[in-house]
Amino acid sequence: MVKHWFWYDWVMLFLRLLISASIILTMVDVQGELTLPLWGAISWAIIAFSVPWFCLLLNFKYYLVTEMILSGGISVYLTHLFPDAYLTLLMPAFMIAANSAHKSYRWSAPMTILVVPIMISIVSRHNTLWVMIVHTGLAYAIGFAFHLLVVNHRQNEIIRDQNTVLEQYVSQIERVTILEERNRLSKDLHDTIGHSNTSIIMGLETLRLELPTTAGQDKLDSLLQLARKSIDEIRGYVHQMESPQDRLPLVESLQQLIEEFQVNSNINVRFRSFGEESVLPRQAEMTFYRCLQESLTNAVRHGQATEISVSLQFELRQTRLEVQDNGRGAEHLQEGFGLKAMKERAYNLQGQISVYSALGEGTIVTCTLPRQVEMPEEVIRLLLVDDQPFIRESLQTLLERQGDLHVVGIAEDGQQAVELCEQVHPQVVLMDLDMPVRDGISATQMIKQRWPDIRVLILTTFQDKQKALEVLQSGADGYLLKSMEPRELAETIRLVHRGGAIIAHDMSIKLFEDLEQFQKKPEAQFVETKTSDDYGLTTRELEILQMVAQGLRYKTIASKLYLSDGTVRNYASSVYLKLDVRNREEAVQKAVEIGLL
């Protein structure tokens, strides 16, 4: 029942108090002519003042009915005693019109202007019915004009509030966009000049033994010094792109966003943080920042909330942000661009966005991301496989700068990789594709068959869609390009080590574009009966499809086939892609239709 009052609410309360007080004073003056006891008449007037007012706080329809019955009843009663007392109906008529909403004037106007005056004319000695109708109609018209003024004022308030929120939102988008552009430029520097200089340094180091003369050694040292100075300058430029403002911890960054939002929107936002704050990757911090930004804006712009509660919880295996508002909510929430963007960001980090909204109960937005940083004491054992020496040495140098990554072996081809897996027992293998003796795909298949717990991450130079499909079929846990930024590569290794699977963003776009074109082909081309060979399903993929059709979970399938959970998911994803479906239900249905099951 508590709401935010504006000037017109106080005007209506003042008018109601004024008319009720005047009626009570009139009853006291003419108490000798009243047919009711004075206390009964005064009680009637008090009820006519309070009951409609309380009903107005609940529902305007309740108000209109009670106002007509109670206030109109007083007017009928007083006019029965005093013919000129019909004027007591003018103020209720004004308030009825002022509080009509949602086209209720279609029935409230006839009731107020015609029905009540006719009743007064019947029970009283007043013969000029048309005079009462004109006076009451004028009062109702003035009240309706006041209603239009109030509606216009409310709309202007909403527009001003939303404009303020949008201005604040636009300023934040501009700042975040600039930050993301800095990160992109920083990534480009890392991926191009930085990576090339690192490879050059490693390549020059390998030439040291081939230059026996002192002059050659001195020239090599000068070239190395120049290359290292160049890469140091690049690092300096990259670090200068990040202002101290951009390097704020996550909690301080969210608090600053909330403070700016409160100043611009005049909305009370409570923020609480639980658990010990841990260092998160920049992508995770940006995801939480954008999620809070979008949730705050939607709470005011769409939900018309007046209070918002924000909680950030650091847990052992995940970090969770929850934004809850007291807005009007919605029965069927439509996903706009902002919500889809939030879900895409969280999905790219193996997280999720959940939204609960109910009419009259507000909205709750929860963003959950897994911990992107492993505990320092857990060291991930790596095996590097590449036929280019300077690439192997560069990767080793870059990755061992991370405290939790340790290179336990280096192989020149797929055959050596298989042999080293048996000797050093790595946890993650970084595998090149095109190598002599044995390529990366066949080596991956052998490693996955003999050691299903070893995670294999394919690193290649070119974007080849056919190769990407073969990589997924071989059981690899990821497909990435060598040009990615070192910190992103380290985070991806940690993610794959924990059981995740990932494919390069550009390559996934190309694959889904092909899938979309595949879906647009005429159905007439697929009328004939297909077999597993027609769809390119391997024996292992068909076996997993049969188990999926039995309702088994991926973990159960993995235990039955002695494979890792990530490998089974990769096989399932490959099956869905080949069958042109999106989930297990559609895969089973199509497999039955075409006779595979």
Q: pLDDT tens for residues 274-293?
A: 888 877 777 788 888 888 88
Please report which residue ranges of 475-537 form alpha helices under DSSP H.
Answer: 486-497, 505-519
Q: Which residue intervals of 190-271 are DSSP H helices?
A: 195-206, 214-240, 250-265
Closest C-alpha among 476, 459, 475, 487 to residue 386:
459
pLDDT per position as a tens digit, 50-84: 888 788 777 778 888 888 888 888 888 888 777 77
Residue with tokens 């006076």: 135
pLDDT in tens, 521-565: 444 343 334 454 567 777 778 888 888 888 787 777 877 776 666
Residues 167-198: tens digit of each pLDDT: 666 666 666 666 666 666 665 665 566 556 66
**pLDDT band for position 464 (cuts 50, 70, 90):** low
Pick the residue with more confidence: 279 or 23?
23
Flag whether pLDDT at 468 surpasses 80: no
Question: What is the Cα–Cα distance from 404 to 487, expressed in whole angstroms?
Answer: 12
Average pLDDT for 435-448: 86
pLDDT digits (tens, 9 = 90+) for 315-357: 888 899 999 988 887 777 666 666 777 777 787 777 888 888 8
At 484, the pLDDT band (50, 70, 90 cuts) reads: low
Residue 271: pLDDT band with limits 50, 70, 90:
very high
- Nearest to residue 5, comparing CAs of 204, 199, 157? 157
Is the pLDDT assigned to residue 514 strictly greater than 70? no
Look at residue 374 in the predicted model and tell me its pLDDT. Answer: 42
User: Is the confidence at residue 136, as pLDDT, over 70?
Assistant: yes
User: pLDDT tens-digit profile of 371-405?
Assistant: 754 444 478 899 999 888 877 887 888 787 777 88
Q: What is the pLDDT of residues 209-218, one digit of tens each?
A: 566 677 777 7
Q: At 358, which helix (H) or strand (E)?
A: strand 352-358
**3-class SS string, 362-413:** EEEEEEEEECCCCCCCCCEEEEEECCCHHHHHHHHHHHCCCCCEEEEEEECC
Summary mean pLDDT of the chain? 77
